[in-house]
Amino acid sequence: MLLVIDVGNTNIVYGLFDGTRLVHQFRVESSRGRTADEYAVVLDHLLAMHGISRADVTAAIVASVVPSLTEPVVALVRRAFGRETLVVGPGVKTGMAILYENPREVGADRIVNAVAAYERVRGGVVVVDFGTATTFDCVTPRGEYLGGVIAPGIQISADALFSRAAKLPRVEITKPPKVVGRNTVASMQSGIVYGYVGLVDGLVDRLEAELDYPFDVIATGGLARLIAPLSRRIREVDDELTLTGLRIVFERNEKE
């Protein structure tokens, strides 16, 4: 099986593919203080819970936006499975032209999302990823990564509100009963949730006005399923988009 690893600022997501089928995925906290051995122990337990042995893992690929965690994760794969890891970055074949002014600045997760989204729609597409940051990645109908938008993520924006406003409580990020809140908690939830719906729809509207091609909008990331039903611009949600993109990039490099 192929082990794909998405190293984000908040979580590390592991996925196991049997061919093109994602059979398992695990999510753990991104802890910069953990060693490769500690990560190996955690992953070992997760695999054992599902009856998977180390010998079942035959290859691995990682996309990381946390440089300090990249090497521990590579070392984890080396120690646990005796495999070298393909790290998404310069020199790795993605099959997608990067039109950014400096392609090295584009996060690996944004590239693999774009690869998976284009493979899915085979046309213009915008990927909205609700991660630590909320990113909008634009792919042309010819399958070129054009660029995009980076906005503060929902959770970090809410955390800033909770920490900087002394009289406001910490609330669950969930859809409120109405837009007009009749108490403080509902009012905050409305501002957080519908405020982000407005951010998403407003930015996609501006992208549409600027881009000279039609596009689909695909959402992914932790809070995508909360925001998508309330948005008039998001057409579908794919929770496995990043992991699928990693698989596709691995297959393209394996053929090389």
Assess contact for 1 and 19: CB atoms under 8 A: no
Minimal CA–CA distance to 88: which of 72, 76, 102, 104?
104
Q: Which residues are catalytic?
A: 109
Q: Which residues of 29-55 are buried (b: 16+ CB within 10 A; e: fewer)?
A: ebeeebebeebbebbeebbeeeebeee
| Torsion angle (degrees, nearest 10) of CA 159, 162, 163, 165 | 140
Residues facing 221 on adjacent strands:
130
Q: Which amino acid is at 174?
A: T
Alpha-helix residue ranges (DSSP H) falling in the chain: 36-49, 67-81, 108-121, 154-164, 184-210, 224-227, 241-255
The tokens describing 242, both together, are 């990043």
Distance, CA of 102 to CA of 39 (rounded, Å): 32
3-class DSSP state of 213: coil
Assess contact for 103 and 45: CB atoms under 8 A: no
